[in-house]
């Protein structure tokens, strides 16, 4: 039998007695894994399971890039545009993804295949430009690499 989201959240909650608010991060992650993003309904489900308000859950979720408050594509493409990546052409990499995916940074491609985001330092400054594809890093990415990367995403 599969555990419900409520039951899994209770397991996380039990790790943080006596204040269930401390379990909000793992609980949000569980809900996002379940639904793909954190809709108002998902936030309410988390809030009910932790006996906190949906507003509290949303305040935490909206602070962290890792949580999605809008639907996302099948794949998540994140391009670091922080200093080390910026100086070797991260913006051109972003623009190449925008052309290939047919959407702007912060949006999802019309075919729903990928969501493109720009992010702060991913910790791979020595291998700039870093692109995270579903949390797997590609290093030294150049604009000319982008069509092949998008082809890979579409081929899956
Ligand atoms: S600045 Fe891009 S990985 Fe650090």
Chain segment 79-129, per-residue pLDDT in tens: 999 999 999 999 999 999 999 999 999 999 999 999 999 999 999 999 999
Domain at 75-155, CATH from 1.20.140.10, 3.40.640.10, 3.40.30.10, 3.40.50.2300: 3.40.30.10
Mean pLDDT of 2-14: 93
Percent of the chain with pLDDT strictly greater than 70: 99
118 lines ligand 1 (CB under 6 A): no
- Does residue 27 have a pLDDT over 80? yes
Higher pLDDT: 42 or 3? It is 42
Ligand 1 pocket mutation, candidates 65, 126, 130, 137, criterion most atoms within 8 A of CB: 130
Percent of the chain with pLDDT strictly greater than 90: 88
Distance 22 CA to ligand 1 centre (A): 30
In the chain, where are the structural domains located?
5-61, 75-155
DSSP β-ladder status, 131-133 and 75-80: antiparallel
Output the pLDDT for position 66.
Answer: 84
Mean pLDDT of 14-38: 93
User: Looking at ligand 1, which atom is closest to the CA of residue 121?
Assistant: 4
pTM for this model (two decimals): 0.77
CATH number for the domain formed by residue range(s) 5-61 = 1.10.10.1590
131 lines ligand 1 (CB under 6 A): no
- Does residue 60 have a pLDDT over 70? yes
């Amino acid at each position: 039998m599969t555990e419900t989201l409520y039951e899994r959240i209770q397991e996380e909650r039990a790790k943080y007695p006596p204040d269930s608010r401390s379990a909000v991060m793992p609980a949000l992650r569980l809900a996002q894994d379940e639904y793909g993003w954190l809709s108002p309904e998902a936030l309410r489900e988390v809030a009910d399971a932790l006996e906190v308000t949906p507003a509290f859950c949303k305040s935490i979720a909206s602070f962290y890039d890792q949580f999605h408050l809008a639907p996302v594509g099948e794949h998540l493409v994140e391009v670091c545009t922080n200093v080390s990546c910026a100086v070797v052409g991260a913006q051109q990499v972003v623009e190449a993804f925008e052309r290939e995916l047919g959407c702007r940074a912060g949006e999802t491609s019309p075919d729903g295949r990928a969501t493109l985001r720009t992010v702060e330092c991913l910790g791979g400054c020595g291998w700039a430009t870093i692109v995270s594809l579903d949390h797997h890093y590609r290093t030294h990415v150049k604009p000319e690499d982008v069509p092949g990367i998008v082809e890979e995403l579409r081929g899956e």
